[in-house]
Amino acid sequence: TYGKLEYFVSARGEKIQTKGEIFLCDDNGISIISDIDDTIKITGVTSVRAVLRNTFSGEYKSVPGMSERYRHYESYYNATFHYLTASPDQLYPFLREFLQREQFPLGSYHMRHFTWFDMNFFQFFSSKSFIKQKTIILKMFFQETCSRQFILFGDIFQKDPEIYATIYRQYPERILKIFIRVSSKNLKNRLNKVFEDIPKHKWDIFCNGFDLPETFF
């Protein structure tokens, strides 16, 4: 089954109602799992201060060409989209508005949970807990489907290459391609080491959406 279910939730005795969405996909077909920050949205994750500034001030800006390319993949492959981010789930309304405004394909959101009892925002954005969170969610996709194939998009500025390489080694037949966004194509040397035991045709780099291929095979 492929599609979207909408549901509504309200508290007893309250007039406020919240709408939710469930995106469905079956065991076959193609899913695209995409990071958000510095993969499709310009964030500046190499600096915590830049992350906070770009997260909480001004209008989110997209990486050029990414929404057009993603819409093409959605249409051409009938692909489902799943957005995996280290951002706190409190930012969901803003990220959803950004993806809608920039006309990215609809899809599910998978975010980190933030609570003031655990840490402050500065500590949250500096922590490495996103590595475990992303790994758990990626494994969930592979374990909950039998033969669905996946294309992974991430960036070089955090640990997406290492996370994706680890997942590939566990599910090599299920991953069609890994794409890593870089700021300079000279950074491919680092990725050669991360992906040294992964076939070269299984991964590639890009700087913006216009660098990405129209088809995967």
> 176 is written with which tokens?
């069609």
Mean pLDDT in residue range 93-116: 89
CA distance 74 to 89: 25
Could you tell me the residue range of the domain that residue 145 belongs to? Answer: 27-211
194: Cα separation from own chain's centroid: 19
CB contact burial 161-185 (16+ within 10 A = b; e otherwise): bebbbebbeeeeebbbbbbbbbeee
CA distance 24 to 79: 11
Please tell me the predicted confidence (pLDDT) of residue 176: 98
138 within a domain of the structure (yes/no): yes
Looking at the structure of the chain, the number of domains it has is: 1
Return the CATH number at 70. Answer: 3.40.50.1000
What is the H or E stretch that residue 50 is in? helix 48-56
51 within a domain of the structure (yes/no): yes
Mean pLDDT in residue range 139-166: 95
216 within a domain of the structure (yes/no): no
10 within a domain of the structure (yes/no): no
Strands 108-112 and 80-88: parallel
Q: Is the pLDDT assigned to residue 49 strictly greater than 60?
A: no
- Quote the mean pLDDT of the chain: 86
pLDDT tens digits, one per residue of 173-215? 999 999 999 987 666 788 999 999 999 999 999 999 999 999 9
Residue 176: phi and psi, rounded to 5, are -75, -40
CA distance 172 to 97: 34
18 within a domain of the structure (yes/no): no
Q: Are 151 and 176 in contact (CB under 8 A)?
A: yes
115 within a domain of the structure (yes/no): yes
124 within a domain of the structure (yes/no): yes
